[in-house]
Chain A
Amino acid sequence: MFNKRWLLLGLGIGIFSMLMFFAFQGIDVSRVAQAEMKPIIIGDDNDFTGPSSAAAPQQVAAMELAIHEFNGQVAGRPVKIIHEDSACDETQSVDKAKKLVERDGASILVGPLHEPSTIAVHAYLQNSGIPHLAMIMPEAMHNKKNSNLFCIHGTNGFDGYIMGKYAAEVLHYKTATVIHDDMVDGEQFTQGAMDAFVAAGGKIIQRQRTPINTMDYAPYLSNMKKADVVFFWLIPPNAMNFINHYADYGLKMPLMMAGIECLGDPMLNQLKDKVVGMYATVTNYQDVEGPGVKKWLNEWKALYGADKKLSMPGFVEPCNYYVEALVALEALKATNGDTSPNKLNDAIRALKLETPWGKMSFNDRGIAIGNSYVTKVVNDGGHYKLQVLKAYEQLPKVEPAEVANKAPKM
């Protein structure tokens, strides 16, 4: 006798088995497929939902642009990228990394944007040893020689270091007040700036740590002491609010952000005049002028110009993702399609890459050696963008040992 309940049960079992089928299906395919026809997989543990997800579509597009440049194949084998969502959550990142490595057979993993997730995923990748192209280099993870970790961005402290160096050596500022999110990233970025500043003879007169969920920066602004410059680092939503309130409260000290990584084109153009004059350090970004960048942007427009949402990279992360994909593809080319982890790791370490932003290579600790730029926000006829003031060329992107931790603990 068929009643509603049995129907529902049957439906439930049906859906369940279908899902299980999909789950198992993936394994069979990879076991049965011939090695030559099987595409090389690059895994991308990206952030589609969650707070760092602003540039996700552009990040994916940037990686696919690199694949497009290689015509979707390397050393005679097809290559593709599988993108997964890590949701800025450690649990999810590791789950997805597992899926990419174990089920999809990824040979290289491009890591999440979120620092704790990167650490978690990296710990997981120690089993397989496949190259981990991290987007962020947590302090706790570098200093290992010849490991499988590579980061084109370098350490957080490095961005700050460049900023502090510029402030003291070029602009001759003598005193600074610091404000940052009360989290490890914030500490590291600003520590870099503080170290460089103090090493060049400057003095830090104040350091304010703000809770991450701060929405109103008024108390901190009213409490800010007068100095030659303000060093700050905040996650994107907070940075927006901070700069907005800073301008509203009429404070006049120059703002220096250690790394524009968390502010992008759409955000600069929302803040408009309030953000003009702010300094920032960047590595790869669309506003860095040069023939290589121009060519790259034209490629971007040719491929994505039609899509309104993807009219330009807009943030630093997509540019970085492009370079990461380039690293992966060039390494695969160098090993001639050999995906064994050791060969790939060695190949990446030996790379001498030509990116739109100049030459790039890695040191033996997986940190990139490349160009960094100090820039300033300017109003270019109604469009707000960065203008390069000074280029620091071919530096390993880590704070030099003699400068590290020079600043007093505040």
Chain B
Amino acid sequence: MISKRMLFPGSSPSSLQGNRWRYLIALLVIGALLVVMPGFLPSYLLDLLTKVLILSVFAVSLNIIWDAGLTSLGHATYFGWGAYVSAILIARLGIGNFWVILGTAIVSVTVLSAIFGIIALRVSGVYFMMVTMALSQLVYFTSIALVSITGGINGIYGISLPNLGFIQLASNKTLFYFLVLFISAVCFFLMHKLHYSTFGYAMRGIRSDETKMKTLGYNTWLMKYVGFIVSAVFAAVAGVLFSYFLGLVCPPQVDIKTATMAILMLIVGGSSIFFGPVLGAILFVLLEYFASIYLPTRWPLVLGLVFIFSVMFLRGGIAVYFIELWKDRIRRNESDSM
């Protein structure tokens, strides 16, 4: 059994405890800020914040399999699937209840990723990338081809804000923000538990040395498979929220370009830290917003350069810098107190 002690050999129990408290406090402070934000922010900035939350869930969900060493180029498949399922239920079947829609999306994406997982996990490394890319393209072409269901290349539009059963959110963007905040908080909580559970550590063990994990008795295929499905589920949840956010769904949401967006958030933010991709999402949304105001025609160029820069120089992502700073402070505090 791998214990947390074994994985962090350098840290003493007391600093780990101390860290945990600081960690919790930091989270609570940020959480409180997020709750009161609507009071300060004008609505278009609140929209950006909503977008950041949704995309963070998307990016962190990718991290679940990325941590296991599986580089998926097709993660947008599940994100877009969630978005499409909600749009189809609302627009084609007239189902309005948000919880029903969320539930259907989760169940259906579990089935989809279960099937795709079996196909994709037959290969590894570069071939895995290609398979996930090809599967993503299949779903992309399906969404264009089934015009009567999916609205073809134009997609489905006119999705109004969710009906929660007891409240109709109608045009109240602030309430929608709180819904997104709530759902993403739940998602982060669950993913966090997963990340720091035995399962999570084992997944990271698979990335460093799969053979060793196998000799230790872990069924690595099963773990990767379960991880694959779980990450797809969270991506789909983000997708459902996104379709409400945008008011429409369209084929580009299942395309490779959306998948590379998630990958960018992941590597810029940092995949080794749990909240790393959140930083990546914040940066990405801000960058996109400002770049397309000040440099509209050159925005994709900026994006590409950021990509190249992060891959070349930001080993571990920006989040790693913050963590190192934090650790520096703690080490100095400890050496002071000794």
- Judged by CB atoms under 8 Å, the answer to whether A and B touch is yes
Is B158 touching A49 in the complex (CB atoms < 8 A)? no
Is A19 touching B247 in the complex (CB atoms < 8 A)? no
Select one of B144, B155, B293, B296 contacting A90, CB under 8 A: B155
Distance A140 CA – B158 CA, assembled complex (angstroms): 11
Residues of A within 8 Å of B297, CB to CB, are 48-49, 53, 56, 85
Distance A183 CA – B155 CA, assembled complex (angstroms): 10
Is B152 touching A120 in the complex (CB atoms < 8 A)? no
Residues of B within 8 Å of A29, CB to CB, are none
A308 interface residue (CB < 8 Å to B): no
On whether A116 and B154 interact (CB within 8 A), knowing A9-B322, A94-B247, the answer reads yes
Tell me the minimal C-beta distance from A374 to chain B in angstroms: 28
B47 interface residue (CB < 8 Å to A): yes
Residues of A within 8 Å of B318, CB to CB, are 12
> 0/1 per residue, B229-271, Cβ < 8 Å to A?
0000000000000000011101010000000000000000000
Distance A48 CA – B300 CA, assembled complex (angstroms): 11
Residues of A within 8 Å of B47, CB to CB, are 95, 98
Identify which of residues 269-294 in chain B touch chain A, using a CB-to-CB cut-off of 8 Å: 286, 289-290, 292-293
Given contacts A5-B328, A9-B325, A182-B145, 8 further A-B pairs with CB under 8 A are A3-B328, A5-B321, A5-B324, A49-B296, A84-B292, A90-B157, A116-B250, A120-B247
Is A103 touching B296 in the complex (CB atoms < 8 A)? no
Is A87 touching B328 in the complex (CB atoms < 8 A)? no
Is A84 touching B293 in the complex (CB atoms < 8 A)? yes
Is B290 touching A19 in the complex (CB atoms < 8 A)? yes
Residues of B within 8 Å of A195, CB to CB, are none
19 contacts between A and B (CB under 8 A): A5-B324, A6-B325, A23-B45, A49-B297, A84-B293, A85-B299, A90-B155, A90-B248, A90-B250, A102-B44, A103-B44, A119-B158, A123-B158, A123-B247, A138-B154, A140-B157, A183-B152, A184-B153, A211-B144
Is A90 touching B43 in the complex (CB atoms < 8 A)? no
Select one of B144, B246, B296, B300 contacting A94, CB under 8 A: B246
The B interface, classified by DSSP as helix, strand, loop or mixed, is helix
Tell me the minimal C-beta distance from B273 to chain A in angstroms: 15
Identify which of residues 30-47 in chain B touch chain A, using a CB-to-CB cut-off of 8 Å: 42-45, 47
Residues of B within 8 Å of A138, CB to CB, are 154
Is B300 touching A49 in the complex (CB atoms < 8 A)? yes
Is B248 touching A123 in the complex (CB atoms < 8 A)? yes
B11 interface residue (CB < 8 Å to A): no
Of chain A, the residue at the smallest CB distance from B147 is A184
Is A87 touching B157 in the complex (CB atoms < 8 A)? no
The A interface, classified by DSSP as helix, strand, loop or mixed, is helix
Identify which of residues 132-148 in chain B touch chain A, using a CB-to-CB cut-off of 8 Å: 144-145, 147
Is A119 touching B154 in the complex (CB atoms < 8 A)? yes
A212 interface residue (CB < 8 Å to B): yes
> 0/1 per residue, A65-102, Cβ < 8 Å to B?
00000000000000000001101011110111011001
Is A87 touching B154 in the complex (CB atoms < 8 A)? no
A115 interface residue (CB < 8 Å to B): yes
Of chain A, the residue at the smallest CB distance from B160 is A123
Of chain A, the residue at the smallest CB distance from B289 is A95
Tell me the minimal C-beta distance from A31 to chain B in angstroms: 10
Distance A91 CA – B44 CA, assembled complex (angstroms): 14
> 0/1 per residue, A105-147, Cβ < 8 Å to B?
0000000000110011001100100000000001010000000
Is B157 touching A85 in the complex (CB atoms < 8 A)? no
Distance A321 CA – B43 CA, assembled complex (angstroms): 29
> 0/1 per residue, A1-23, Cβ < 8 Å to B?
00101101100100010010011
A253 interface residue (CB < 8 Å to B): no
List 3 tightest A-B contacts by C-beta distance, closest first.
A85-B296, A183-B153, A116-B154
Q: Please list the residues of chain A having a beta carbon within 8 angstroms of any beta carbon in chain B.
A: 3, 5-6, 8-9, 12, 16, 19, 22-23, 27, 48-49, 53, 56, 84-85, 87, 89-92, 94-96, 98-99, 102-103, 115-116, 119-120, 123-124, 127, 138, 140, 182-184, 211-212
Select one of B171, B300, B321 contacting A9, CB under 8 A: B321
Residues of A within 8 Å of B155, CB to CB, are 90, 116
Select one of B157, B252, B299 contacting A49, CB under 8 A: B299
Tell me the minimal C-beta distance from B182 to chain A in angstroms: 23
Is B153 touching A212 in the complex (CB atoms < 8 A)? yes
Tell me the minimal C-beta distance from B335 to chain A in angstroms: 12
Is B42 touching A119 in the complex (CB atoms < 8 A)? no
Is A123 touching B300 in the complex (CB atoms < 8 A)? no
Distance A3 CA – B324 CA, assembled complex (angstroms): 12
Distance A183 CA – B292 CA, assembled complex (angstroms): 28
Residues of A within 8 Å of B322, CB to CB, are 9
Is B154 touching A183 in the complex (CB atoms < 8 A)? yes
Tell me the minimal C-beta distance from B298 to chain A in angstroms: 8
Distance A87 CA – B299 CA, assembled complex (angstroms): 10
Tell me the minimal C-beta distance from A55 to chain B in angstroms: 13
* B155, B247, B252, B328 pick with most chain A CB within 10 angstroms: B247
Tell me the minimal C-beta distance from B87 to chain A in angstroms: 12
Residues of B within 8 Å of A85, CB to CB, are 292, 296-297, 299
Residues of B within 8 Å of A91, CB to CB, are 246
Is A120 touching B248 in the complex (CB atoms < 8 A)? yes
On whether A19 and B286 interact (CB within 8 A), knowing A6-B325, A48-B297, the answer reads yes
Distance A53 CA – B47 CA, assembled complex (angstroms): 27
Residues of A within 8 Å of B286, CB to CB, are 16, 19
Residues of B within 8 Å of A53, CB to CB, are 297
Residues of A within 8 Å of B147, CB to CB, are 184
* B42, B171, B324 pick with most chain A CB within 10 angstroms: B42
Tell me the minimal C-beta distance from A136 to chain B in angstroms: 11
Tell me the minimal C-beta distance from B160 to chain A in angstroms: 8
Distance A92 CA – B293 CA, assembled complex (angstroms): 11
Tell me the minimal C-beta distance from A46 to chain B in angstroms: 9
Select one of B42, B44, B157 contacting A116, CB under 8 A: B157
